[in-house]
Amino acid sequence: MRSSKKKYIVSGSAGVKAQQIQFADQKQEFNKRPTKIGRRSLSRSISQSSTDSYSSAASYTDSSDDETSPRDKQQKNSKGSSDFCVKNIKQAEFGRREIEIAEQEMPALMALRKRAQGEKPLAGAKIVGCTHITAQTAVLMETLGALGAQCRWAACNIYSTLNEVAAALAESGFPVFAWKGESEDDFWWCIDRCVNVEGWQPNMILDDGGDLTHWIYKKYPNMFKKIKGIVEESVTGVHRLYQLSKAGKLCVPAMNVNDSVTKQKFDNLYCCRESILDGLKRTTDMMFGGKQVVVCGYGEVGKGCCAALKAMGSIVYVTEIDPICALQACMDGFRLVKLNEVIRQVDIVITCTGNKNVVTREHLDRMKNSCIVCNMGHSNTEIDVASLRTPELTWERVRSQVDHVIWPDGKRIVLLAEGRLLNLSCSTVPTFVLSITATTQALALIELYNAPEGRYKQDVYLLPKKMDEYVASLHLPTFDAHLTELTDEQAKYLGLNKNGPFKPNYYRY
């Protein structure tokens, strides 16, 4: 998964979960990064998130047969354009089918196309984007196009691009610069090709991880004069924006779509409720019934994991540092323990804390034979995997993403995804969740682009609650769900507008 040539640290998750995290020592890691690799001369490397990888159950065509770098190829789409750089433009048809399938599961974006198409709310928008390039992103991009925007796009991750989808986008006229297996130099080259264009200057940024934003800051700071706003998706990117803001260096409004309610509840609680089961099954084929499990952390992710495993007949223990979450765990029927109290007896250890070294070598030493250890939280810091890379322990790769770490006495620990995020590495993210995120991004772009002068200052904003509610409402038809409307009398009684927002900002849902 990791190129051995790369020296920089690949630690991150990206875009998914981890609420309260403060990246105290991650900043130090940033500083430690070696740079100046190969023919590039940037002062910093690509961000953590750019090297994570979504696994996909769909195995796409293998491009290993073609070793030529896309940068060295001459390709044209059927309309004669060559303003793109993808692995193989001929894969466009296969990618188109993937996009069509994704469209069927992203009705909210399709509805947005329909509802907003007449007015073209993004007419005149020139959006430069840097995200994972998947079928779902393609649906987003084509939606932005349908709403009037011009788009140029790069990948936010060197591994996650689906070449066929990139080809399909290029074929239908989108200037896309991305392929699976970019080098770090390729990565920045692609981003540069998106922004450094003769006669075209972006006025909106859609970023996932902050690398695109960073690049423009570094290389084309003047470009911000015309930019109306940044929409940022990931924890990492949002963190960077808040740092810029604190430092007084943020020069355009930015929208933090990571902390919107729908994203948080769906990416974390509901999605993890399913992906913990999926990830464990795909890697270990274990039976959940009767298993003793300890879940470290009872935030949204922990709540999802606990609910799922309890429902499948596991006996679940919880550890927490926060007494309020701890009391919730109690009321939800979980024994609240310290990890040490149960570490000898549990069959599975799952971390969901956003913290570091939650599972230490000492814990690992005390686990029983065959204990499964995995991380659903944030980054790859929760389990002290480094402590396992010592001479007396033997590592055995038994399946993709599954290692047996073997103690001298023969005890085996089953480590999943080397302590990286189980749900990203070993399960898939349902299109429905990606649909919510993509719709939120589209609405954030529309909001920032159309906001009257002065509504947003040079700061980081959350999506207005009303738009959060709108995103939710666009997804209700998926469930054939029928919303009730307030009568005038009721709206007056509650002191609410009939169209929302329906809750105060501090409402907890």
- Using CB under 8 A as the binding rule, the residues of this chain from 466 to 495 that contact its own copies are 468-470, 472-473, 475-476, 478-487, 489-490, 492-495
Q: Which of 1, 21, 37, 251 binds its own copies (CB under 8 A)?
A: 21
CB burial string 235-251: b at 16+ within 10 A, e below: bbbbbbbeebeeeeebe
Provide, rounded to whole angstroms, the least separation between the CB of residue 464 and its own copies. 13
**361 interacts with its own copies by CB under 8 A:** no
**219 interacts with its own copies by CB under 8 A:** no
CA distance 134 to 232: 17
CA distance 146 to 144: 5
Name the residue type at position 263.
K
Q: Which of 148, 173, 181, 430 binds its own copies (CB under 8 A)?
A: 430
User: Which of 118-126, 175-183, 190-198, 321-329 is the region at the interface with its own copies (rule: CB under 8 A)?
Assistant: 321-329
Provide, rounded to whole angstroms, the least separation between the CB of residue 499 and its own copies. 10
**288 interacts with its own copies by CB under 8 A:** yes
- Closest CB to its own copies among residues 210, 377: 377
Residue list 323-352, contact with its own copies (CB under 8 A): 323-339, 341, 345
Q: Which of 271, 294, 349, 364 binds its own copies (CB under 8 A)?
A: 271
**146 interacts with its own copies by CB under 8 A:** no
∠ at Cα 111 (107, 114), nearest 5°?
Answer: 145
Q: Which of 47, 258, 431, 437 binds its own copies (CB under 8 A)?
A: 431
**497 interacts with its own copies by CB under 8 A:** no
User: Which of 3-11, 78-86, 249-257, 265-273 is the region at the interface with its own copies (rule: CB under 8 A)?
Assistant: 265-273
∠ at Cα 486 (482, 492), nearest 5°?
Answer: 165
Q: Which of 99, 141, 315, 445 binds its own copies (CB under 8 A)?
A: 315
Residue list 81-120, contact with its own copies (CB under 8 A): 101, 104-105
* CA 145, chain centre distance (Å): 23
Provide, rounded to whole angstroms, the least separation between the CB of residue 196 and its own copies. 37
Q: Which of 61, 75, 243, 264 binds its own copies (CB under 8 A)?
A: 264
Q: Which of 123, 226, 313, 395 binds its own copies (CB under 8 A)?
A: 313
Q: The tokens 């920045």 sit on which residue?
A: 188
**408 interacts with its own copies by CB under 8 A:** no
Task: Select from 407, 421, 419 the least CA-distant residue to 278.
Answer: 421
User: Which of 77-85, 137-145, 249-257, 277-285 is the region at the interface with its own copies (rule: CB under 8 A)?
Assistant: 277-285
Provide, rounded to whole angstroms, the least separation between the CB of residue 212 and its own copies. 27
Number of H helices, E strands in the chain: 18, 15
CB atoms within 10 A of CB 322: 13
Binding mask 62-81 for its own copies (x = CB under 8 A): --------------------
Q: Which of 277, 349, 405, 460 binds its own copies (CB under 8 A)?
A: 277
CA distances from 478 to 21, 221, 264, 465 (A): 33, 42, 19, 21
Beta strands 229-232 and 204-207: pairing type?
Answer: parallel
Q: Which of 320, 403, 418, 447 binds its own copies (CB under 8 A)?
A: 320
Which structure tokens are listed for 107? Answer: 């009705």
Contact in structure between 126 and 203 (CB atoms under 8 Å): yes
Q: What is the dihedral of CA 102, 141, 378, 40, to 10 degrees?
A: 130
Cis peptide before 477 (omega within 30 of 0): no
Q: Which of 88, 262, 351, 441 binds its own copies (CB under 8 A)?
A: 262
The DSSP output letter for 78 is: T
Provide, rounded to whole angstroms, the least separation between the CB of residue 401 and its own copies. 11
Collapsing DSSP to helix, strand or coil, 320 comes out as coil
CA distance 26 to 127: 30
Provide, rounded to whole angstroms, the least separation between the CB of residue 343 and its own copies. 12
Q: Which of 62, 285, 392, 453 binds its own copies (CB under 8 A)?
A: 285
Q: Which of 79, 248, 392, 506 binds its own copies (CB under 8 A)?
A: 506
CB burial string 128-160: b at 16+ within 10 A, e below: bbbbbbbbbbbbbbbbbbbbbbbbbbbbbbbbb
**38 interacts with its own copies by CB under 8 A:** no
